[in-house]
Chains A and B, each alone.
Chain A
Amino acid sequence: MIEIDLELALASYTLRVAARLEAGVTAVMGPSGAGKTSLLEAIAGLRRGARGRLALDGQLLLDSVNGLSLPPEARRVGYVPQDAGLFPHLTAHANVRFGARADASAVASAIATLEIDRLLERFPASLSGGEKQRVALARALATRPRLLLLDEPLAALDVGLRERILPYLLRVRDEWKTPVLYVTHNVGEALALSRRMLLLRDGRVEADGAPFELLAAPALASAAEPGVENLFSGRVRGHDLEGGVTILDLASGQGITVPLAAALTPGSAVTVAVRAEDVIVARRAPEGLSARNLFEVRILALARAGADVTLRCAPQGGEGTLEWIVRVTPSAAAALGLAVGQVVYLAVKSHSVRLM
Chain B
Amino acid sequence: MTRYLNPLRTAVAAAAATALLLTSTSCDVDLALLSGSPEPYNFPAGDPSDPYYVEPANIHQMDLQSLADAANNVPAATLKGLYVGNPADIATDTVLLYLHGNANSMNAFWNALRQMANLGGHHRYGVMCYDYRGFGNSEGPSTGTASMRQDLHAALQWLKDRGLTSDRLVVFGNSLGTLPGAQEAGEQGGPLKINKLVLECPQSNSDAFFQDAVGLSVPSSLATDYAFDVDGNMARYPGALLWMHGMDDDVAPIDNAKNLYAAHQGRFKRAHLLAGVGHNVRGGWGAQAWGDAILDFVARVD
- The answer to whether A and B come from one shared complex is no
Binding site for A on B (CB under 8 A): none
Binding site for B on A (CB under 8 A): none
